[in-house]
Structure 1
């Protein structure tokens, strides 16, 4: 999805580019709390994804969640709780969450489906974790994303009609029963710009390719 800075996806021609970094406008910033002065904005992000919770990994106690200068807001401390590995700068972890909020906010301004798809697929890492505390204005997008699922294989899908969050002509899908028999499939020859999938009762596996993500229609 070009809307979140990815390249090479089949759906990229329909998405608006969104900046992954850089200052937000005042209006955008209203939904994305700022960085403490002299901390995350000046802290290089280490390789990997800071703040990823790992089973058994020692995390920094809340009492030690302090930036080099300035202070964290109550909302920022809530986000950092249990998320900062020991020996890692909490400002770097906060920066990752803020950047996720920036990307989702800017993408949603151009294409809400693209923003929802980025949350569903994890294309913007950490967005689902960051939204509730760092950019709560985007909670409606998160709520919608929780009703969908990414492209690929999904077992025991709820029967119903779903729409693909792409307009690529490469999107195809199949609904299979427990024996692997095709109960329904689409789209027809030549593809379609707007793809919907009617998943019948008895579907054990739903397989799609080139469809990016799905939402209930």
Structure 2
């Protein structure tokens, strides 16, 4: 009975760090991917079986030389599975996970493997993760918080740092804010992500 639980623990532990450490893979993966030579598309073959046309298209220009293409495909399929799970649980959390980078390769995986989730990626493109946002990255509109903590706060500033609006919520419930045209800076802490209300854009 002892080997079983420890094997289960070992299998569970590696699955958790990738979702808890999105910053490192996101920061290092593109640099490594951009520099490493890729396996030509016509040379991408699985160890056993075959890839579908859709899978081959996804793998094109993604498989570093010497790497098993099935491992690259599995990463994309796991991303799609995460999105499928999150959408069933709470759509706003799924979009928020893309906005925050918690699911760093969502855009590519959705475009190549699970196109039914394109609306999530499209909405996430107009959202804001916690942090400070200013300049051209700031878009006026109405936003709602997705999965805020019980320590969610925000501040909107205009020219010269003049406070236009601010607030806090200790309920953990979604809040709505309006970022006006006159806003120069939007800062959010503990709110996880802000998603656009209504039509994106």
Q: TM exceeds 0.5?
A: yes
Q: Secondary structure at the match of 1:115?
A: helix
Determine the C-alpha separation between the residues in 2 that align with 1:102 and 1:65.
23
CA deviations over 1:1-41 (Å, ceiling 9, x no partner)? xxxxxxxxxxxxxxxxxxx79xxxxxxxxxxxxxxxxxxxx
CA RMSD, Structure 1 to Structure 2 (Å): 2.3
Determine the C-alpha separation between the residues in 2 that align with 1:150 and 1:135.
23
In the alignment, is residue 113 of structure 1 matched against residue 92 of structure 2?
yes
Aligned residues: 171
User: Normalising by structure 1, what TM-score?
Assistant: 0.71
Q: Secondary structure at the match of 1:161?
A: strand
**Structure 2 CA distance for partners of 1:56 and 1:192, relative to 1, 3 Å:** closer
Shift of 1:138: 1.3
Match among 180, 184, 187 for residue 200 of structure 1: 180
In the alignment, is residue 72 of structure 1 matched against residue 51 of structure 2?
yes
Q: Secondary structure at the match of 2:67?
A: coil
Determine the C-alpha separation between the residues in 2 that align with 1:106 and 1:192.
22
More strand, by proportion: 2
- Deviation >6 Å, runs of 4+: none
Structure 1 spans left out of the alignment, 5+ residues: 1-19, 22-47
Determine the C-alpha separation between the residues in 2 that align with 1:131 and 1:200.
32
Structure 2 spans left out of the alignment, 5+ residues: 1-14, 17-24
Determine the C-alpha separation between the residues in 2 that align with 1:192 and 1:114.
13
Shift of 1:181: 2.2
CA deviations over 1:132-159 (Å, ceiling 9, x no partner)? 2211111222222222121111113122
